[in-house]
Amino acid sequence: MDIENIKRNTAVTPISEGGSNFETHVLYKKTNNKFLIKPSIGLALFTSAFTLFSTCFTSFPLYSLITSNTDKWEFNQIWFVGFGLLFFCFSLYLLFNYFSPHGFDKTTNLYYRGYKNISSKTDAIIKLNNIVALQIIGETIIDEDSRFKSFELNIVLKNGDRINVVDHSNLSGIIDDSKTLSKFLSIPIWHAESNKA
């Protein structure tokens, strides 16, 4: 296997545009043979607050509608319930997406991500010996109100394909996690800078 040839032919642009302006995930050692990617305290607090807000925003108008004595529901009541349900569905999406099982397991020789049974097929499932490197890519995110750096940690496969592991703004956290995984998997770290200014 020609590692240098794989490196030359591996894309150095971000896998997914965008990112978070705070640390969303951290690497956690569960056992000597297993590392998990877990939500950070900041992400847990954010999603909890968002879920609580969306639940209250939906529950109170819905309760008011159910217990009202009138046969007709006013438009603003229906609008509040609909808007609240939209918020609530988005909070469920955040919980499902950010808190899904995610990790590197030497006992099963798998990198996995998703809620399905990892012994069959998950959203992402890769044999650890198919991973040849870790890749770090920086990207500048510009929106209407801010400008910040976001960094991807990706795994690179033997065929040059890449899979994103985490994407957030804490570069030192990304580097520390990369070093730990590099040692755990006995693979190199490739630093790449995207051409997006």
pLDDT digits (tens, 9 = 90+) for 143-171: 777 788 889 999 999 999 999 999 988 89
- Read off the pLDDT band of 195 (50, 70, 90): very low
Q: Give me the chain's average pLDDT, please.
A: 81
The pLDDT value given to residue 178: 95
Across the beta sheet with 102-105, the strand order is 25-31, 34-39, 102-105, 110-113, 124-127
Domain boundaries, the chain: 3-43+97-193
pLDDT digits (tens, 9 = 90+) for 20-49: 777 888 999 999 999 999 888 877 787 778
Higher pLDDT, 61 or 182: 182
Cα(123)–Cα(105) distance, rounded to whole angstroms?
A: 16
Contact 134, 111 (CB under 8 A): no
Cα(106)–Cα(128) distance, rounded to whole angstroms?
A: 7
- Read off the pLDDT band of 88 (50, 70, 90): confident
The pLDDT value given to residue 76: 64
The pLDDT value given to residue 194: 47
* Mean pLDDT within 81-102: 76
The pLDDT value given to residue 115: 63
* Mean pLDDT within 5-18: 86
The pLDDT value given to residue 107: 93
Quickly count: other Cβ atoms within 10 Å of residue 4's Cβ.
Answer: 7
* Mean pLDDT within 106-125: 69
- Read off the pLDDT band of 117 (50, 70, 90): very low
Tell me: pLDDT of 120 over 60.
no
Alpha helices in 27-131 (DSSP H): 41-67, 75-98
Distances (CA, A) of 150 to 16, 20, 53, 178, 193: 11, 6, 27, 15, 11
Q: Which fold has domain 3-43+97-193?
A: PH-domain like (2.30.29)
